[in-house]
């Protein structure tokens, strides 16, 4: 019987570890490289563009292998994880020099799409990982950002559309669940441990719902399991109540360009316009506010009050903004402390940031405003941390711990003593070299050092004949042009100097860890300070933007009334700031809930609807808005359908996407919602589209009663009865001969025409096409349809032809077969 082949002990250990991480790439540390083996290597080499090699592992066939230098591992991990994979990092858990046999190794971290931490400077996006619980009557969703420690939980109605909207809004790349469940475009990780660990019980102090505790604990335990360490930086779990924020789905946020412009970049978005924050914490908070406008009027007014204080106090505002510029990303630095991967430079950044806090507090108190005073009083004194860091860490420390030179002279007497040995050792070596030259008479003698051979006496070959036995030199190394020697005296000093250097590095590392652990006890206080800084940063930023752009404070009413005088689109105004922006007002109320907007393409209809939407969103995040004055209701949801876009991935046409989005609005909107529909129905045949558009308008008017802006090219819709609460307005244009000039002014009443052919002329279509189109248009207008009104809607009636008149007068039952044939011949002639 053939003997079964056995892998080498190292490969057996790898295979044992891999069993527990079948769903991950295993990066296995061997010396200065992380290696992948077997299928991981084959697939990883393609994904990461690495050379695929092989390794002898005790069996006949070489094992597929590819490797990554240890110093470059972060980039490769990030590449894999951003493509939707998990990576398990295996490290050496003991010093190879002290190991007996195979070096002990183990998984020290599993990096997943939801746990990939971004410590890049000025990163203003949160990276949330979620956990989902599906219960009989509701969904429970927990989510956290591992890099900042933020932690939230909420209950939701058991509605798949609402769940999908929330997942899109939070940008999950990974969701943890007790049982596998298919969620589109998101990695689902199955995990079973939901028991609250005693060490983390304090995080759930303000959560009483057992389902919320279960799902949040499931997420926390998954994070602990993947990160393989304590997560003492995680903040107390905050319950998010669904009735606290405006509901907007992904289509709406994209259409209104809230955080991304048309090209998918920040430029051109509302975030781009408003984000002049001076800290990463403030940038992240502002982005959260834009994506989650408030519903609670009292909270909105509190934010507006704070913004107004800074609008009115320019000098204090600018002073505080300058202070915040000197504050680093304390939230993420606090996480690095808790994770144990903080470096000496990070500590100096923490100290520099915390030094600003007392002055910031005093400036806030000097404004003598109750809410800002309350914020200021949350800025606790952390001078003990700055004092410790300043005492211990040199002013310009290296980034890496193993380089030494981190701790100041005078902080540790033991370290000072070792440094003295090292320093005196150098002077001793210089004196030793001089002494040996004098003793031997060899002028070419010099003392050197390298890592392999230590300290040595080097003598070039031309001086070698002068070396005598009584010098006591022992040959250590031969070179092409020289020989290297040692003496007992040099060897003894080498031991002292080298052991001092090694002990210095080890002791500096030990002291650094002590300081890090000391600061670790204050992680949550640092996070609290960071939150206050973030809020002050956002208030001063919104005040600066308001002052610079002449925005006004919005007011709110309970009368279902939207009143904006001379409103402007804030982003368009900024982009064309060297031109005069044409302002437009908007009036809607209980008697006119639907604004039907007509006018030419490029005439400003879509811009007008967006500017109204953005005014609503800016108001409800607590920002001033671009207008002369404004009074608005509090909107609970915003639905939009602006622009045409096929959903090619799921095989849906523009028209299908349009209908799905319209359906969302019609099904879920309330009378307190805002609906923005841009040319609904244009994706199908004219009469189909017109009929659907009219049906949608009637449904909103009769059932939903949401304030609705509806633009259309179906001019026939403008004849709908005002009994439905419709007000006609149009984007005006000046037509002179063959030319058209857009006025970008929204004016009362319907548009006279759509100016399609005029716009086609601007696009320089061939003259023959334009001429033929004019003939066809005239024919259609003269012969096709005429408009007649009833009290509720337009009816389309074709003009009666001569053939129809004859047919109406005929009685088929009175005709003989011959008469019928004769009549048919006459009708044919008439046609």
The full 3-state SS of 643-694, as one line of letters, equals CCCCECCCCECHHHHHHHHHHHHHHHCCCCCEEEEECCCCCCCHHHHHHHHH
Q: Residue 484 contacts by C-beta under 8 Å, 6 or more apart in sequence? A: 448, 453, 456, 457, 458, 459, 475, 476, 477, 478
604 labelled ligand-binding: yes
Reported as a single tens digit per residue, the pLDDT across 348-390 is: 999 999 999 999 999 999 999 999 999 999 999 999 999 999 9
pLDDT value of position 638: 95
Fold that domain 413-516 belongs to in CATH: MutS, DNA mismatch repair protein; Chain A, domain 3 (1.10.1420)
| Domain segments of the chain as ranges | 9-111, 128-244, 275-382+524-549, 413-516, 555-795, 800-831
Reported as a single tens digit per residue, the pLDDT across 161-218 is: 889 888 988 889 999 999 988 888 899 999 999 999 999 999 999 999 999 999 999 9
DSSP secondary structure, 440-495, as one string: H--TT-EEEEETTTEEEEEEEGGGGGG--GGG--EEEEE-SSEEEEE-HHHHHHHH
pLDDT at 422 over 60: yes
600 labelled ligand-binding: yes
pLDDT value of position 785: 45
Reported as a single tens digit per residue, the pLDDT across 436-451 is: 999 999 988 999 988 7
Q: Return the DSSP state at 47.
A: H
Q: The pTM is what?
A: 0.81
Helix axes 280-291, 523-549, angle to 10 degrees: 70
pLDDT value of position 788: 36
Report the distance separating Cα 675 and Cα 593, nearest Å. 10
Report the distance separating Cα 53 and Cα 46, nearest Å. 12
pLDDT at 224 over 80: yes
DSSP secondary structure, 782-829, as one string: HHTEEEEE-SS-EEEEEPPPHHHHHHHH--GGG--HHHHHHHHHHHHH
pLDDT at 4 over 60: no
Report the distance separating Cα 117 and Cα 283, nearest Å. 17
474-505 as b/e: b if 16+ CB within 10 A:
eebeeeeebbbbbbeebeebbeebbebbebbb
Closest CA to 606 of 726, 713, 533: 713
Do the Cβ atoms of 744 and 603 come closer than 8 Å?
Answer: yes
Q: Does domain 275-382+524-549 have CATH number 1.10.1420.10?
A: yes
More confident residue, 773 or 15: 15
599 labelled ligand-binding: yes
In sequence order, which ranges of 190-279 are alpha helices (DSSP H)?
Answer: 210-227, 250-255, 270-274
pLDDT band at 250 (very low <50, low <70, confident <90, very high): confident
pLDDT value of position 49: 95
Reported as a single tens digit per residue, the pLDDT across 50-106 is: 999 999 888 888 999 999 999 899 999 999 999 999 999 999 888 777 777 788 899
pLDDT at 255 over 50: yes
Cβ count near 103 (within 10 Å): 19
Q: What is the dihedral of CA 394, 397, 402, 407, to 10 degrees?
A: 0
| Surface-to-core class of residue 383, CB atoms within 10 Å of its CB (0-12 exposed, 13-18 middle, 19+ buried) | middle
Class of domain 555-795 as given by CATH:
alpha beta
More confident residue, 171 or 579: 171
pLDDT value of position 766: 80
pLDDT value of position 786: 42
pLDDT value of position 1: 38
pLDDT at 3 over 50: no
pLDDT at 748 over 60: yes
605 labelled ligand-binding: yes
**Average pLDDT in the 554-558 region?**
97
pLDDT value of position 799: 56
pLDDT band at 649 (very low <50, low <70, confident <90, very high): very low
CATH architecture of 9-111: 3-Layer(aba) Sandwich (3.40)
Reported as a single tens digit per residue, the pLDDT across 487-508 is: 999 998 888 888 888 889 899 9
DSSP secondary structure, 263-315, as one string: TSSSTTSHHHHH---SSHHHHHHHHHHHHS-B--HHHHHHHHHHHHHHHH-HH
Q: Is 67 helix (H, G, I), strand (E, B) or coil?
A: strand
Query: Which neighbouring-strand residues pair with 133?
Result: 140
pLDDT value of position 141: 97
**Average pLDDT in the 732-755 region?**
76
Distance in angstroms between the alpha carbons of the first and the last residue of the chain: 97
Using only the alpha carbons of the chain, give its radius of gyration: 38
pLDDT value of position 653: 57
Report the distance separating Cα 174 and Cα 185, nearest Å. 9
234 labelled ligand-binding: no
pLDDT at 791 over 50: no
pLDDT value of position 217: 97
Q: Is 11 helix (H, G, I), strand (E, B) or coil?
A: helix
CATH of the structural domain 128-244, one choice from 3.40.50.300, 3.30.420.40, 3.30.420.110, 3.40.30.10: 3.30.420.110
Token pair of 162 as six digits = 């609402």
Choice among 322-326, 634-638, 732-736 with the minimum mean pLDDT: 732-736
More confident residue, 33 or 714: 33
Q: Which long-range contacts (CB under 8 A, 24 or more apart) does 697-702 make?
A: 697/594, 697/596, 697/724, 697/726, 698/724, 698/793, 699/666, 700/593, 700/594, 700/666, 700/669, 700/675, 701/593, 701/594, 701/725, 701/726
pLDDT band at 111 (very low <50, low <70, confident <90, very high): very high
pLDDT at 2 over 70: no
648-678 as b/e: b if 16+ CB within 10 A:
eeeeeeebebbbebbebbbebbeeebbbbbb
Do the Cβ atoms of 574 and 267 come closer than 8 Å?
Answer: no
751 labelled ligand-binding: no
Please provide the average confidence, as pLDDT, over all residues in the chain.
Answer: 87
pLDDT value of position 272: 96
Instruction: Check if 275-382+524-549 and 413-516 are the same fold.
Output: yes
């Amino acid at each position: 019987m053939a003997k079964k082949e056995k892998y080498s002990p190292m490969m057996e250990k790898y295979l044992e570890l891999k069993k527990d991480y079948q769903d991950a790439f295993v990066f296995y540390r061997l010396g200065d490289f992380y290696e992948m083996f077997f299928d991981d290597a084959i697939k990883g080499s393609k994904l990461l563009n690495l050379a695929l090699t092989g390794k002898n592992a005790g069996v006949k066939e070489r094992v597929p292998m590819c490797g990554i230098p240890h110093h470059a591992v972060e980039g490769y991990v990030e590449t894999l994880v951003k493509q939707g994979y998990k990576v398990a990092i295996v490290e050496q858990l003991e010093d190879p020099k002290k190991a007996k046999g195979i070096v002990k190794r183990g998984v020290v971290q599993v990096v997943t799409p939801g746990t990939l931490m971004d410590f890049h400077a000025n990163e203003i996006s949160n990276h949330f990982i979620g956990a989902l619980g599906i219960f009989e009557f509701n969904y429970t969703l927990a989510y956290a950002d591992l890099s900042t420690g933020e932690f939230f939980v909420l209950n939701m109605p058991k509605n798949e559309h609402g769940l999908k909207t929330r997942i899109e809004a939070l940008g999950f790349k990974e969701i943890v669940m007790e049982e596998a469940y298919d969620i589109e475009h998101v990695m689902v990780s199955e995990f079973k441990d939901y028991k609250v660990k005693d060490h983390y019980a304090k995080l759930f102090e303000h959560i009483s719902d057992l389902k919320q505790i279960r799902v949040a604990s499931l997420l926390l335990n998954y994070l602990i399991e993947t990160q393989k360490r304590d997560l003492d930086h995680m903040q107390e779990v905050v319950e998010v109540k669904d009735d606290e924020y405006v509901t907007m789905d992904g289509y709406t946020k994209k259409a209104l360009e809230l955080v991304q412009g048309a090209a998918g970049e920040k430029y051109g978005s509302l975030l781009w316009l408003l984000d002049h924050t001076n800290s990463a914490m403030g940038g992240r908070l502002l982005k959260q506010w834009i994506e989650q406008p408030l519903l609670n009027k009292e909270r909105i007014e509190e934010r507006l009050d704070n913004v107004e204080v800074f609008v009115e106090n320019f000098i204090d505002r600018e002073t505080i903004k300058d202070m915040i510029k000197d504050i680093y990303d304390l939230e993420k630095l606090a996480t690095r402390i808790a994770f144990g991967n903080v470096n000496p430079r990070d500590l100096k950044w923490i100290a520099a940031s915390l030094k600003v806090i007392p002055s910031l507090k005093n400036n806030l108190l000097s404004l003598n405003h109750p809410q800002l005073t309350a914020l200021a009083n949350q800025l606790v004194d952390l001078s003990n941390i700055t004092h410790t860091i300043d005492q211990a860490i040199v002013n310009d420390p290296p980034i890496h711990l193993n380089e030494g030179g981190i701790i100041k002279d005078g902080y540790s007497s033991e370290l000072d003593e070792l440094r003295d040995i090292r320093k005196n050792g150098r002077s001793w070596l210089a004196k030793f070299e001089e002494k040996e030259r004098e003793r031997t008479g060899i002028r070419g003698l010099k003392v050197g050092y390298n890592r392999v051979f230590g300290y040595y006496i080097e003598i070039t070959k031309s001086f070698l004949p002068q070396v005598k036995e009584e010098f006591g030199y022992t040959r250590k190394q031969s070179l092409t042009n020289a020989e290297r020697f040692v003496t007992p005296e040099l060897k003894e000093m080498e031991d002292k100097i080298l052991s001092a250097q090694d002990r210095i590095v080890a002791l500096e590392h030990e002291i650094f860890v002590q300081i890090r652990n000391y600061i670790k006890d204050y992680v949550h206080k640092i996070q609290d300070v960071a939150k206050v800084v973030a809020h002050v940063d956002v208030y001063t930023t919104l005040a600066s933007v308001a002052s610079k752009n002449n925005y006004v404070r919005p007011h709110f009413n309970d009368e279902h009334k939207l009143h904006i005088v001379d409103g402007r689109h804030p982003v368009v105004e900024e982009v064309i700031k060297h031109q005069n922006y044409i302002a437009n007002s908007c009036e809607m109320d209980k008697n006119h809930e639907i604004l039907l907007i007509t006018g030419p393409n490029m005439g400003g209809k879509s811009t007008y609807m967006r500017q109204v939407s953005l005014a609503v969103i800016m108001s409800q995040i607590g920002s001033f808005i671009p207008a002369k004055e404004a009074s608005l209701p509090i909107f609970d949801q915003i639905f939009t359908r602006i622009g045409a876009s096929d959903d090619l991935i799921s095989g849906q046409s523009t028209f299908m996407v349009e209908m799905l989005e319209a359906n969302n609005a019609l099904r879920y909107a309330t009378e307190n919602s805002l609906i923005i529909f841009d040319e609904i129905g244009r994706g199908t045949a004219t009469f189909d589209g017109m009929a659907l558009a009219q049906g949608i308008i009637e449904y909103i008017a009769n059932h939903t009663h949401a304030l609705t802006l509806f633009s259309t090219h179906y001019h026939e819709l403008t004849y709908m009865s005002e009994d439905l609460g419709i007000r006609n307005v149009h984007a005006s244009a000046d037509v002179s001969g063959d030319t058209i000039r857009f006025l970008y002014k929204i004016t009362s009443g319907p548009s006279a025409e759509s100016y399609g052919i005029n716009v086609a002329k601007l696009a320089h279509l061939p003259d023959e096409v334009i001429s033929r189109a004019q003939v066809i248009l005239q024919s259609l207008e003269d012969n096709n349809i005429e408009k007649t009104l009833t009290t509720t809607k337009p009816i389309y009636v074709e003009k009666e032809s001569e053939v129809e008149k004859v047919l109406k007068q005929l009685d088929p039952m009175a005709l003989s077969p011959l008469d019928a044939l004769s009549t048919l011949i006459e009708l044919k002639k008439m046609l």
